[in-house]
Structures are given as structure tokens and as C-alpha cells.
Amino acid sequence: KIVLSPQRPLRFGFALGLDFSKRGDSFAKFISLTKPKLEFAQRAVVALVSAVQIASFCVTPVTAPHIPAELHGAFTFAKDLGFTHLSMHVSFEHVYYTTVGFVLVFVITMLGHESLETAAFLWPGRKSCKYGWLVAKSYLELASTLFFVSVFRTLLRGLDCTYVESGAGRVMSLDALATSPIVSVDWSESGSGSFATSTVVGLQCWEWKHTVKYGIPSILGLVAFGCLSFRLLLAGSDLSALELEVTKWYDCRRDGKKPQPRVHPLSLRSPSLGTATMLTKMTVSTAEVLLTNYPVVYAVAILVTSATLVLVSLSKAPYHGSIPNQCQRGLQMALLCCACAQFVVTVGAWHRHSDSVVF
């Protein structure tokens, strides 16, 4: 039976205009039992990819100095799904502005989902509204989970600067437009040669060109993408539970939670682990940029964040069933073991080569 549901408890299932209670309890039970399985499978894939991404940050030049190039490329791809590799073969500028456009679409979709939800409610027979809502929900969820490290790390690279030596002295250069050494050979009359190197600065940081092209877009993108992703994950990735206003996009007091008439063992119980995982991705991505020359401090940061994930998974069970919770905790424990191994190897290397490895 086609009915119109009230405006306040509107959700995607209700936006389709289906009243399950009038169609029989068997169909409603089938929906309530199948949907948690699909959502759990999706969350399991996201959790596995997130764990691999965080674990790939443990592979550094200190922990694996002689890693083969093929294996190093695999870890780099796992870290940000190939965004860094793509920027080396295409152009960092193209990858960067594609990412900025991705974040802009993300923000517009988050702020405009209320209008799409209202349209799906007012015109339940229009398939464009239904499919538009489904596409928007899937896009926002994938952007805030699977592609979070890729987007966040690319925006951070627009702010990653290092002092380099050039002909004019020490200059702060943007690492993404990497300085390239030019080697020339000066031959003497006796036939001997000497190598001369010079450094080409791709873009000097915090001048007007860098500030306008990379600095301001990176700062605005990091704040908007990080805050809105955190708010979406805090609601359990349930877009219909958000009450977003353009003027008060930071206010989450009106956000609700969809009631669950039937609780499945695979149903989500607490979104705490999801938000903690997102904060961990932010921490390790930022630490990789800021603590490159301090490997011990970097290892401590990854160890602390990995231990925090284990504590969150133990204190707030993400699912209602014990078996999925145990699988999730096992995944976090494996990640903690990787962080411990990185810490031990880094500290050992620091003790052996205290002059070459900076604390």
C-alpha cells in the first residue's frame, strides 16, 4: 500500500512510500534481517581497508630501508589508493584540483541532502529522487570512509613544505612539486670531471601564488571535509539522521538516530569505533607530513592511536553480536601489533645510528 509518511521520522525506506506494517510482518522481517547483513558486509570491507591503510603508515625508510620497489609501490598504493602514484605520473596540480572538486561536491551534497530528502518525500513516485538520494548517500559514505585518507593526504600535501638549498640560499619549497637536482659535469683540461648540482624550487611556499593556489584551498578543504565526515560518522553514516543547516553546519544537537524495531547481531550498535578510526587516519596522515624527520616520535604517534582504537573497540562494542565484535577487535589487535613492531624497529635503529636518525 502506498502511503505518505510523516515529515519528522522520514528515512530513505519511508521516502519510497512503502508502509511495511500494512503489507505483512513477513516482508518487514525479511527487510530487517537482510539489510543488516549487507550493511555489515560493507562495514567489514571498510574496516579491512582502513586497517590496511593505517598499517601501511608503519612502513617507513627506517623500518624497511631495503624494501623492493614493487613492494614499496604496493604499500604506497594501499596508503592512499594510488593518489600519490597518480600525481607522480600525471601531475600533482591535476590530482590536487580534482581532489578539491571532490571535496566541493562532498560539501554541497552534505548541505543539500535535506532538499533531496524533502523532494523524495513530496514526490514518492519519482524515481529520480529515489535514485538521487541513494547515490548521494553512497557517495558521502564512501568519501568519508574508503577515500578519506586519499583526500585528506592530498590536501595536506598542498601545505607540506621543506627548506631546501638553492642558488639564492635556503628556500621553503612545496614538496609535492618536488625539488629536482640537476647534475652537470665540468671537464677540466686534464680530462678529469667534477659533478655540480643545483636545486630547482618548484614553488616557494607561502608566497601569494602558493597561498592562493594551494594554501587557502587546502585549509578550507581540510576543515570542511574533516568536520562534515566526522559528523556523518558520528550518526553511524545514516544521512537521514542529520539535520544540517548551511548557517549552522557544525551544530549536531538536532541529529537523531533511526529506531531499530528488530535488532540483528550484525546491526550497528555504536558509531564510536568509526569516528575513532577517522580520527586515527587524520592523525597518522598529519604525522607523516609533520614528523618525517622524527621517526621515533612518528612511531609513538602511530602506536598511541592504534592502542586507542583497541581501547575503543573493547569499551564500546560496535555491533550487537559477540562474533562480529570479536572479529573487529582481532583486526584492531593486528593493527596494534604492526604499530608495536614499527616502534621496536625504529627505536632499535635510533640506538644503532643515533647520529643519522634524528629523535
- Report d(CA 31, CA 47) in Å as an integer: 24
Instruction: Determine phi and psi for 98, rounding to 5 degrees.
Output: -65, -40
- Assigned C-alpha cell, 322: 559477540
pLDDT of the residue at 221: 93
CA nearest to 305, candidates 286, 326, 324, 327:
286
Query: Grid coordinates standing for 240?
Result: 537521514
Residue-level pLDDT at 225: 92
The SS3 call for residue 16 is: coil
71: Cβ–Cβ under 8 A, 6 or more apart, which residues? none
Which set of grid coordinates corresponds to residue 279?
A: 580520527
Q: Where are the beta strands (DSSP E) in 188-258?
A: 193-200
Compute CA distances 108 → 94, 139, 221, 246, 265, whole Å: 21, 12, 12, 10, 35
Amino acid at 16: L
pTM of the model: 0.76
- First-to-final CA distance of the chain: 68
Radius of gyration of the chain (CA): 25
Nearest to 242 by CA among 318, 133, 152: 133
Along the 359 residues of the chain, how does pLDDT read in single tens digits? 344 444 444 344 433 444 444 444 555 555 556 666 777 778 888 888 888 888 888 888 888 888 777 777 777 777 877 777 776 677 888 889 999 999 999 999 888 877 777 777 777 777 777 778 788 888 888 888 888 988 998 899 888 887 777 666 677 778 877 544 444 434 344 443 343 444 455 678 888 888 889 999 999 999 999 988 988 888 877 777 777 776 766 666 667 666 655 566 777 788 888 888 999 999 998 988 888 778 889 999 999 999 999 999 888 888 888 888 888 889 999 999 999 999 998 888 887 766 544 44
Cα–Cα distance for residue pair 101/97, rounded to 1 Å: 6
Taking Cα atoms as reference points, which of 271, 223, 215 lies closest to residue 250?
A: 223
Compute the CA torsion angle 84, 279, 44, 101 (nearest 10 deg): -50
How many CA atoms does the CB half-sphere of 156 hold within 13 Å? 20
**Is residue 136 within 8 Å of residue 113, measured between CB atoms?**
yes
List residues bridging with 162 in a β-sheet.
173
